[in-house]
Amino acid sequence: MRISVVSYLNSLPFIIGLEKFTEAEQIILSKDFPSECARKLLTGETDIGLIPVAVIPQLNESYIISDYCIGAFKEVLSVMLYSRVPLKEINTILLDHHSRTSAMLIQLLAEYHWKISPQFVQEAETNEKMMEGKTAALVIGDRALAMQDKFPFQFDLATAWFEMTGLPFVFACWVSNRKLENEFVSRFNEVLKAGVELRNRLSLENYSPEISPAVKSNYLNNIIRYELNEEMRKGMNRFLEMIK
């Protein structure tokens, strides 16, 4: 079974569990950016992917196979709009190309919540030098954590989503492009659960050294929500309805 997992800090508990699964079950595990996880599942290069939820409607067949996800309630810290000016003064937002979900979410928030109409520009890679004047940037993943407090204005997209809807947000979930055997799905969920339950004992010193150990520990243990429960599903379904 070919599995693509996001290579960010928030997926580390999943990776720990899946690497044990790999030894026992002979699966092939690849670590990718969110957009690459999506591409591989769309093209059939993988059987299962931890994919941005905005990609689900593009699949000919899609099955959410796990009770686990990458979600957030009120804040996420790793999907951020960074700016040198207040929201109303932003005229351009650079979009991180690594996640379609985050890019679509910020466009929804701009129109329906913040009531601003900036120009959105897709960039292969943004850096701080590009974020000058009235040009802001959507930054995701470990880079967003590392850039905390470097800009006078920062906006957490999960916080803005909660303010707008009163719901949590699901950024990515486990999806297969075909029906899988119940026995495999059950075992898959077991190893994800095992990894999530180990997250407060993970050694993080050598992972993303540019992020402080306290920030990494708080992020994994208190910020990211891994259980795809009923409230998470409500938030995910609301988002999918809005982007139709």
What's 158-226 look like in SS3?
HHHHHHHHCCCEEEEEEEECCCCCHHHHHHHHHHHHHHHHCHHHCCCCCCCCCCCHHHHHHHHHHHEEE
**Same-domain status, 176 and 60:** yes
pLDDT at 210: 86
Q: What is the pLDDT of residues 27-77, one digit of tens each?
A: 899 999 888 999 999 999 999 999 999 999 999 999 999 999 999 999 999
**Same-domain status, 106 and 221:** no
Are the CB atoms for 119 and 92 separated by under 8 Å? yes
| Token code pair at residue 244 | 């139709």
**Same-domain status, 84 and 150:** yes
Q: How far apart are CA 134 and CA 131, in angstroms?
A: 8
Q: Which amino acid is at 1?
A: M
Q: Label residue 200 by pLDDT band (50, 70, 90).
A: confident
Query: DSSP E strands: which ranges in the chain?
Result: 2-6, 28-32, 48-52, 63-72, 79-83, 92-96, 119-123, 135-140, 153-156, 169-176, 224-227
Buried b (16+ CB within 10 A) or exposed e, 25-58: eebebeebbbbbbbbbbbeeebbbbbbbbbbbee
- From 165, 190, 219, give the residue that closes a domain: 165
What mean pLDDT is predicted for residues 199-219?
86
Range with the poorest average pLDDT among 161-165, 174-178, 207-211: 207-211
Nearest Cα residue to 121 out of 138, 143, 108: 138
Nearest-5° Cα angle at 180, 179 to 185? 135
What domain range includes position 84? 79-165
**Same-domain status, 101 and 123:** yes
Q: How far apart are CA 114 and CA 107, in angstroms?
A: 10
**Same-domain status, 95 and 147:** yes
**Same-domain status, 113 and 125:** yes
CB atoms closer than 10 angstroms to residue 19: 14
**Same-domain status, 195 and 234:** yes
Q: Label residue 97 by pLDDT band (50, 70, 90).
A: confident
pLDDT at 25: 67
| Token code pair at residue 47 | 């059987």
- pLDDT > 90: what percent of the chain? 77
What mean pLDDT is predicted for residues 217-236?
96
**Same-domain status, 140 and 180:** no
- pTM summary value: 0.93
| φ, ψ (nearest 5 deg) of residue 211 | -105, 135
Q: How far apart are CA 17 and CA 189, in angstroms?
A: 10
Q: Label residue 24 by pLDDT band (50, 70, 90).
A: low
**Same-domain status, 38 and 63:** yes
- From 102, 130, 165, give the residue that closes a domain: 165
pLDDT at 130: 80
- From 165, 189, 210, give the residue that closes a domain: 165
Domain CATH number, residue 141: 3.40.190.10
Nearest Cα residue to 243 out of 101, 140, 137: 101
Q: Label residue 186 by pLDDT band (50, 70, 90).
A: very high
Q: Label residue 185 by pLDDT band (50, 70, 90).
A: very high
- The count of domains in the chain is 2
Are the CB atoms for 188 and 68 separated by under 8 Å? no
- What average pLDDT does the chain have? 92
pLDDT at 127: 67
**Same-domain status, 49 and 99:** no
Q: What is the pLDDT of residues 101-149, one digit of tens each?
A: 999 999 999 999 999 999 999 875 666 778 889 999 999 999 999 998 8
